[in-house]
Structure 1
């Protein structure tokens, strides 16, 4: 039930809150923040954020908003066009759909701007030949080679500030009348037409378009996609959908004839996950995953338990990793589209160690450490603060500035930074720790470790002076390995923590 349902609520929040309130939302979850993600929001914005939170978007994951965009939301739109062709009409006309309510946010945000083609500028050759191989971007290889997209100059310009992201261009007159396609971007009076939703050549999608033809910029379909999940309520094993059920368990919104997400899942993975496993399985999930929500792991664990019962622990493990997101290559600093490395670590070291542990489990009957201890709470997954209580494979990092999570100091004043790094039982020892005090993204200077409990616990202590006023978020990144050596470069299990220092 993941796609496209995970993408709609988060996109709706970003659209409704805007840049300033998204920044404030992130700040509430930073060290020294209020912890109240609804702070400063009006009722409409609060309801949108609450819907996304109950759907499972991690509260601390909103730092990703500048780069995560809408995931594969509109890439999946063709499924809906093909399977439910009336959805995008019903959304604006039938009771129970957000668009049909004239007082809804969707109705107020709808744009259908008409203008005429002033000039067909020609073609733009995209020189980016990158082969995408990461978790987030591999699907973009489908568009490889289809790099010719036209640009169109409009006679009239829409009002500035309008929500034109992911509009479609619809041709209203001329030889191309009735044709439409997605828009990549709008700069001043120039439209750059995007790849067609089916990744075909977008130029041919608009063949026949001429100067003087009447066109429309329309965001109706994009708005409709943002609440699609309300009309796809599955069985009650999916607790995040309880917000869309009444007290009797019946859907409160009109429902489409059947569930689309399982079809997409089967097309993508070959089969719909059911939990009916017949071999040993270890699931690895990220607590800040913005696309495959943390609760998905909990749902799958319960699905396995439905089949295996008391024998689940003989066949299955679930490990949660904190401060990890969906992307598996988060620390590639030369890519401006990569998410902020100040907030996250990659999970590859844990994943590689899990593969080794799985091999030992299968080949030598050597059982891996128990699953992570966690709690499901209204769409969110919560884990204990201490490594010995949390379990799993990832070290737990706790850092402080002058003994606190948030401090105010004067410029030029010495600040003492301390940290503890704790490794779960039977998962190795601490191997390294490094600070970045002033957002340099340089974690190469390793701190001296004060090892305790045979390396299962390490303390770090150092000082730093901030010369200029400002608000800083010093970050400590730490790692551990099963053998306790940095030579095992592929199995360094990482984690991090942050503090806030306000310099006056």
Structure 2
């Protein structure tokens, strides 16, 4: 291990790359170099170029260098910026693998503020392994202040290039690719709109945008209040073999709430896991509701319960239900705020021209709001997380968005909202710089898909990895990626074709039937036949793996493949020894080159059927 603590000023990649110090890694001191310009801010957003100096991150300090073996052999450099609490790590190929570097790097970003004890700058095993296997080194900058946006990531990326030039002994041009999920997508968009030359491509994942009042979370909280006791029956109606009518059995207030919340764009598919949608799962330990008064609008709760035009005074089934809920909870100050807060999205309605189709249900035919409007806008967190970016679609470099159709946190329609801004900003050039891929049976979480979630969700991270490889080939060699997913927006819901060739994008499709249908009823011990076909979009590779979950417990076993042209077919017979309702699933994985041994960049999807098993005679 080599320990260092020497500040090195970044004065432009081209200058420092040729003048780094001697030593096993990067050396101890840098010679004097020509002055570089200071980065400037425009409308509050710092404009970062390859050669400007961000004064907040002007002094990178190398703390250590180590040769490590996990998850694969690599050389790690740990560093920080003097005068800040920002640490970052760079992961290079091991000395024996230097020839595997293809002149690029991949950089993950996420805005969570962690405790001082946590090493947030350390990339996880997957990020390291993917980068090194894809011809790149990995960079990751920790973030202990939400307000940094993309600035610290840019400074880390630029300094890492000077380290790479010395470590790999190369003067070649280095290409970089920034990616991040959720809040990290805010940072990624901030970087593509406000930087040039630092990165050449970007992959925002499960894309968040600065929507009014965070209405998707408020709408879900409202649904939890009104529909919580009906969540199971709504889910069952939407499952394979269900009635298909989620409104059946709801009273007028519940029906009104369900229509409203899904007109917001909260996907029907989210009811597959209602506890998550309603904020009752482990991922939401605090829930979605709050008793706290709104600091930016302290008179709101009083108006909600006392002023005509608000739901708290409205004579309607939903208004009556809201007042009944308050009576049940107890008419105290905290409970009045708790219920009022959930419906705040009704009272800050932007004009239709701003594109928030989920809120247009609250506009009259003449375009004016149906309900009273609050004079104060919720500041939210999108501004400081994104670095005050405009979200106007003025992207620099190649962008591939990876979004998911089961996502109730970052709504699928919001990615389309941003796509329209890219189209307006770039015009015809958008086709040469932008793609969007929607994935089915995938939600917001990028953690391993296990347990209850594995019954109906796939791991979407491999599709993001493929997008990163595609954006690199696009930026470096002009290789156009596959066409964007074919979709349309109906009532704020993103709708895609069932067939892979029509859907396009990069995800395979699966069509599973039981006895030729999506559901069947049988007796214990009776044998039934399951048949499936799987396809990949044109140019997206080949299905390389299939797995059955025959008892619906989220645990999968290998299924042999039979290939007929571009279609993979599967079938099996199964019998059940216990009564019950089983959601049988088939999960498939495809890979761009058809490699069945691939670890990264696997595209997955699944399909399910319902089997009702009765004791019989």
Q: Same fold (TM over 0.5)?
A: yes
Q: Report if the CA contact (8 A) 1:370-1:392 is conserved.
A: yes
Stretch of structure 1 that moved more, 265-274 or 409-418:
265-274
Aligned equivalent of 2:560, options 431, 448, 467: 448
- Mapped to 2, the partners of 1:332 and 1:109 lie a distance apart of 36
- 2:65 maps to what in 1? none
| 1:379 equivalent among 492, 495, 502 | 492
| Higher relative contact order, chain-length normalized (CA < 8 Å, sep 6+) | 1
1:13-24 alignment, distance < 5 Å: 13-19=223-229, 21-24=230-233
How does 1:270-349 map onto structure 2 within 5 Å?
Answer: 270=387, 271-333=389-451, 340-349=453-462
- Counterpart of 2:309? 96
Contact persistence 1:232–1:260 (CA under 8 A): no
Whole-Å separation in 1 of the counterparts to 2:448 and 2:346: 32
Distance 1:91 1:47 in 2: 19
Aligned pair count? 394
Q: Distance between the aligned counterparts of 1:411 and 1:9, measured in 2?
A: 43
2:603 to 477, 484, 493: 493
Partner of 1:58: 267
Residue segments in structure 1 that go unaligned for 5+ positions in a row? 112-161, 168-215, 334-338
The question of 1:4 aligning with 2:214 is answered yes
Superposition deviation, residue 105 in structure 1: 2.1
Aligned to 1:127: none
Query: Partners of 1:282 and 1:289 in 2: how far apart?
Result: 18
Please state how far the C-alpha of 1:222 moved relative to its aligned partner: 1.8
Q: Report Cα offsets for 1:177-211 as digits up to 9, x if no partner.
A: xxxxxxxxxxxxxxxxxxxxxxxxxxxxxxxxxxx
| RMSD across aligned positions (CA) | 2.3
Alignment of 1:143-154 (within 5 A): none
Kindly state the Cα deviation for residue 498 of structure 1 after the two structures are TM-superposed.
0.5
CA–CA distance in structure 2, aligned partners of residues 60 and 440 of structure 1: 19
CA 1:80–1:318: 2 relative to 1, 3 Å: farther
Counterpart of 1:83 in structure 2 is 296
362-371 vs 9-18, greater mean Cα deviation: 9-18
Provide the secondary structure at the position in 1 that maps to 2:274. helix
Higher mean displacement: 460-469 or 390-399: 460-469
Corresponding residue for residue 234 of structure 2: 25
Rg (Cα) greater in structure = 2
TM-score norm. by structure 2 comes to 0.61
Q: Look up the SS of the partner of 1:24 in the other structure.
A: helix
Of the three residues 340, 351, 357, the one matched with 2:464 is 351
The corresponding residue for 1:360 is: 473
What is the aligned partner in structure 1 of residue 257 from structure 2?
A: 48
Say yes or no: does 1:37 pair with 2:251: no
Is this contact kept in 1: 2:413–2:493, CA < 8 A? yes
For the pair 1:266 / 2:376, whether they are aligned, the reply is no
Unaligned 5+ runs, structure 2: 1-210
Aligned 1:439-478 pairs, distance under 5 A: 439-443=552-556, 445-453=557-565, 456-478=566-588
Q: Deviations over 1:281-307 (max 9, x none)?
A: 111111110111111111111111111
TM-score (norm 1): 0.74
CA distance in 2, matches of 1:7, 1:279: 32
